[in-house]
Amino acid sequence: DADVTQTPRNRITKTGKRIMLECSQTKGHDRMYWYRQDPGLGLRLIYYSFDVKDINKGEISDGYSVSRQAQAKFSLSLESAIPNQTALYFCATSHGGETYEQYFGPGTRLTVT
């Protein structure tokens, strides 16, 4: 089984709808992240969480919110989706100690019409 899973993998929604993207991990990492990927822009950080009680805004948090329900679960919500939120969304995790790399989920492709 994959260490970092994301659901759904693909989603088409309409403008104004609320949508939630979910991320779960079995790596036991404290830190979790949400990114969006747009062609030609690379990955940009939306939110990150050091632990269940510590959530921080990233570079592009406007229009998004998150919830860290447990150490292993980190959800991203779009309260009122708009077309320019159409993108590929990635969840990632990392350990807070000596190992610095982030481990990525397979991504969720979101289309807002």
Partner 1 sequence: AQSVTQLGSHVSVSEGALVLLRCNYSSSVPPYLFWYVQYPNQGLQLLLKYTTGATLVKGINGFEAEFKKSETSFHLTKPSAHMSDAAEYFCAVSDGPNTGNQFYFGTGTSLTVIP
Element (H, E) at 63: none
CA distance 82 to 77: 12
Under the binding rule (CB under 8 A), the answer on residue 60 touching partner 1 is no
* 3-class SS of residue 85: helix
| Of residues 78, 28, 74, the one with CA closest to residue 54 | 74
* φ and ψ at residue 64, rounded to 5 degrees: -125, 155
Under the binding rule (CB under 8 A), the answer on residue 41 touching partner 1 is yes
Under the binding rule (CB under 8 A), the answer on residue 42 touching partner 1 is yes
Task: For residue 30, give every residue at least 6 positions away whose Cβ sits within 8 Å of its Cβ, in sequence order, or none.
Answer: 50, 51, 71, 95, 96
Under the binding rule (CB under 8 A), the answer on residue 12 touching partner 1 is no
Under the binding rule (CB under 8 A), the answer on residue 7 touching partner 1 is no
Among 15, 56, 69, 113, binds partner 1 (CB under 8 A): 56
* Shortest Å, Cβ 37 to partner 1: 9
Q: How many residues bind partner 1 (CB under 8 A)?
A: 27
* Binding region for partner 1 (CB under 8 A): 4, 31, 33, 35, 40-45, 48, 50, 56, 58, 90, 92, 94, 96-97, 100-107
